[in-house]
Structure 1
């Protein structure tokens, strides 16, 4: 049997079961729109196919949820923002087209931090998502709705987007697998942009192999996205994946401080498991990783400032009531002030500042130079190792509201994930243990560019050696 034997024999029954499960998961606030009509139409079309044709589809009948910053034709698509509260997408994103072609059934659009800006899913204009492991905890962000829905068992797989860890960090917090592909592996056409040189769409699932099969369905070049490439195809590992001979790089200096003891213990146990399976551990240096967070927040906010300029109440998005403005300038100001949340406004202001005359060279250009140094650190590491291993996040899921008033502490939740986005590398988070409070810990593996075959093999082999992982009670 294939690892994606998520594929149901009775498609309509599986679709109805997923829609029922989504309704039952409503206390999590993980879903913004349930796509009932589209899902039932897709299921009916699949069941009308000859059995041989349906069986040839790699994701035939698999219910899947997609983050609400990914366009689906005829479906409300808000990116978690009031400024797009009434926007109905007029077209399908490329990944949605490819999911349809693979036979998947899209059942829901999931809650997310506004314009994917956040690490806790508390920045959504439609309220925070709750973690299925503990409802007083964040599911992580910005793809927290997708992570929570998979962790709760409402859908087997979901799509998220990852700009600085927004797939991997919520996967870690919710005890599931989250995969960020190499930049250019998956089309961004139809993804509402945050940081165009950083964003990538990827799968979230229960197992590594399931995530790999979903990635295989959505990957590939797209003439509508010039950043996609004709990359070598990757292989989803079979049941014979093993750790024998795998060279694992561990940046010990990076892990020396700021990591919770419960996280550290789980990571050390994961490394021991890999060692026992035949892998070798190698100490490596990533000397510029300490600068990753400030570099990321300069690059990402600059790109956000440019990308979000289009939401002005004229071309796109919410327009303030006529009584709130007297001329074009005040209409822009009123519409954007009403439509954007505090975190989005903060990042737009920071990005506009670093791009302004007199500061561009001092901040944005310098950040791009450091970005190159971070990329070179990984290139040097991969001359000696196959994958780099570290925690996905320095902590487990923190309490809702705990870091809302301290943006800098919130930003540090991404300390181990942003480097993969800055360097465009593929990375995956795999559950590796529970902390003393019973909350999941994620192990992050990073591979060379377009090294998804190696990345998936290493992650699947570790997953096999680890054994079954618990689910939320």
Structure 2
């Protein structure tokens, strides 16, 4: 058998079901890989080796149980903004460095009920605010294809863990591109589901109208298995939708005939690296070769997505992060009064990027500026959403670049917030509209991965996964592995 750390979830599941492999063997192989490789990659903040071994033994003992799920015995890892009972959850922030949740998020409960094994918690930009994972208070994760470059963000640890062979799949979160952009930069597959498709209960919120939990793995087929487990309405999350959850794996027909794929010209932005554009357009041509009809479409309000997002998301962050004051969670700085303690705790324990976004959001919500900024941004958000609605009357899905560049060097953009924010120019509109987005590897530029972004109708992840899987059946980009 091939090296166990290079297996896909579907490959590992087949080997487990055939009795060729045990979950204990697979888990031990990954824990060994983490011990050897993660000191250079720095994807993990917490490794739960003992719990993983116990869960793997339980999975092997329960193999064959009709109630076991599609992830039974599969080792996964979790972005450190998702609550895990009894396991430290930091959000990449010093303000939560010793926080151990007393409960697990719904997605964690569903993974455990399916029999998945949890290897640990993964690094991310602080409170998921960033595009490079350099805003983590603990460490900077390296891109496994070139450790001197960023893995993307904010789910950089989640993407790097898959690419480095440290986990077969991971969970990330996506507020403005935080699953799709790092998936593209690390050469793996990632899915941002429709807003409301996956419960946000137990996710420590950044932007409540934008955040969505989603899976990352090597293939669209792997993502289908993971989404099958975590999707569905949750009574503890009022924003989760009652939409039925289809059999995503059954949708993977390999057939794109009759599918209409729109290509929005606005996504090929000025300054896009030629190698990124070339790989993306070649991937679109491959969809045509498989029988899809390619249609040029326009999303004219795309150019307003960046400023709209950077009013709405910081405003929601300002409200959500008000609870972190040193009184109930995490360490507290000493002060002469309660207000001194709160001010010092927030000032010393929040990082630069989090403080910047809190200030931007508080300003946008303040008296005299609310109508001029926040209200207007919400109105433009509606126009962006209508762009997508009109496009989906003509086509079944959209195909576009994910990031205008490949992974950039660590430190290159840390002193230039605008350049960092522009990293997500191709992904932000999808969150504002609440529609699903899938990224699959589609080539290389300057020896670094490029990802194709597919965008779908609300709650039509099945069509996205069908298209992504069909593309991966005729290409081998998803089989490439970095040499660490």
TM-score, length basis structure 1: 0.96
Find the partner of 1:184 among 190, 196, 215: 196
Q: 1:234 maps to which residue?
A: 246
Q: Which of the numbers 62, 70, 89 marks the counterpart of 1:77?
A: 89
Secondary structure at the counterpart of residue 403 of structure 1: coil
Residue 86 of structure 1: how far off its partner (Å):
0.5
The answer as to 2:465 corresponding to 1:456 is yes
Residues 74-132 of structure 1 deviation map (CA, whole Å, 9 limit, x = unaligned): 00100000000011111111000000011100011000000000000000000210000
Distance 2:283 2:142 in 1: 27
Q: CA deviation at 1:252?
A: 1.5
Q: CA deviation at 1:395?
A: 0.4
- Name the counterpart of 1:247: 260
Alignment pair present for 1:197 and 2:209 = yes
Aligned equivalents of 1:307 and 1:254: distance in 2? 31
Number of residue equivalences: 467
Aligned match of 1:219 in 219, 223, 231? 231
Between the aligned partners of 1:88 and 1:233, the Cα distance in structure 2 is 32
For residues 300-346 of structure 1, the C-alpha deviation after alignment (integer angstroms, 9 at most, x for no partner) is 000000000001111223211x3xx2222211111011110000000
Structure 2: distance between partners of 1:13 and 1:124: 32
SS of residue in 1 equivalent to 2:12: coil
Distance 1:468 1:188 in 2: 32
Q: 1:393 aligns with which of 392, 403, 408?
A: 403
* 2:82 and 2:204 in contact (8 A); partners too: yes
- The partner residue of 1:161 within 169, 173, 178 is 173
Q: Which residue of 1 aligns with 2:3?
A: none
- TM superposition outliers: structure 1 runs of 4+ over 6 Å: none
1:68 counterpart = 2:80: yes
Residues 110 and 253 (structure 1 numbering): CA distance in 2 closer, same or farther, change over 3 Å? closer
Distance 1:307 1:3, change over 3 A: closer
- Name the structure 2 match of 1:279: 292
1:354 is aligned, of 364, 372, 379, to: 364
Matches within 5 A, 1:10-409: 10-26=22-38, 27-49=40-62, 51-53=63-65, 56-237=68-249, 240-320=253-333, 322=334, 325-409=335-419
Q: Distance in 2 between matches of 1:160 and 1:450?
A: 19
Matches of 1:342 and 1:78, distance apart in 2: 16
Q: Who is 1:428 aligned against?
A: 438
Instruction: Check the 8 A contact 1:237/1:460 in 2, yes or no.
Output: no
Identify which range, 248-257 or 171-180, moves more after superposition.
248-257
The answer as to whether partners of 2:441 and 2:477 remain within 8 angstroms in 1 is no
Name the CA distance, whole Å, in 1 between partners of 2:271 and 2:248: 34
1:285-305 deviations in whole A, cap 9, x for unaligned? 101000001111111000000
> What do the CA deviations read for 1:18-64 (whole angstroms, capped 9, x no partner)?
11111122211110000112212212222222x42078421111000
Q: CA RMSD in A?
A: 1.4
Could you tell me how far apart the structure 1 residues matched to 2:367 and 2:236 are?
Answer: 32
On the 8 A contact 1:243/1:462 being kept in 2, the answer is no
The 3 A distance-change label for structure 1 pair 33 and 42 is: same
Q: Report the Cα distance in structure 2 between the residues aligned to 1:468 and 1:409, rounded to whole angstroms.
A: 28
Q: Give 1:444's aligned residue.
A: 453
Deviates more, 1:84-93 or 1:54-63: 54-63
Q: Using the alignment, how far apart are the partners of 1:25 and 1:363 within structure 2?
A: 46
| Alpha-carbon separation, structure 2, partners of 1:389 and 1:23 | 38
